[in-house]
Amino acid sequence: MLITIADVLTAEEVAHARTILDAADWIDGKVTAGYQARTVKENLQLAEGHPAAVKAGEMVLAALARSSLFVAAALPLKVFPPMFNRYTGGGHFGTHVDTAIRAFASTGQRIRTDVSATLFLTPPDQYDGGDLLVEDTYGLHTVKLPAGHMVLYPATSLHRVTPVTRGARVSSFFWIQSMIRADGDRTLLYDLDTAIQRLAKEFPGNPIGVQLTGIYHNLLRRWAEM
């Protein structure tokens, strides 16, 4: 399931995050790439634990906590501390799959990367290129979102970022270990949750909503890993 979430960060939050990030020292993005990804990765990023990354990451985590759509779509168990990258001057990231297991730099705690997230921090009219291309069973999806918007997609997906030929593309990227390991199961639960919310809005008090809510939670209880 690929889903976009609008306005995860407000315009004011985006501006504040950019002020923090633009003043920081960036390093070669290859430092966190796996062996194969390192050969196709040409970008900059903030080092894990960099004060600017920590401060901006706290803003992102707070925003995720207030996003009901993020919770419904990802059903998060653990969220990797948000990281930040910058593409400019032809910077790109060739086709790759995200590493299955990541370790927190601060604690060594491991996370299984079920869901990948990219939160855009640059308005799309300020750079050319930099499209996120995600492949799934339905074909190739092109993603280039307004600043403050985010996309979630299965970490198992082949994906890439096209070269940035003008300006700079700054984004936050991170991973989520979901309570629901399988993307197909997460999709079913999300679709069911969406239908329940729509039913409650259009037909408040309908007893079918109670029955469907029970089915949702019983499936969640059956599939969830804690």
pLDDT at 59: 97
Nearest by Cα to 164 from 200, 194, 120, 205: 120
Specify which residues 3 forms β-bridges with: 152
155 burial class (0-12, 13-18, 19+ CB within 10 angstroms)? buried
pLDDT in tens, 44-102: 999 999 999 999 999 999 999 999 999 999 999 999 999 999 999 999 999 999 999 99
- For the chain, list the domains and their CATH numbers: 3-178 (2.60.120.620), 183-223 (4.10.860)
DSSP string of 138-195? TEEEEE---TT-EEEEETTS-EEEPPEEEEEEEEEEEEEEESS--HHHHHHHHHHHHH
Classify burial at 35, counting beta carbons within 10 Å of its beta carbon; exposed 0-12, middle 13-18, buried 19 or more. Answer: exposed
Q: pLDDT category, 35, cuts 50, 70, 90?
A: low
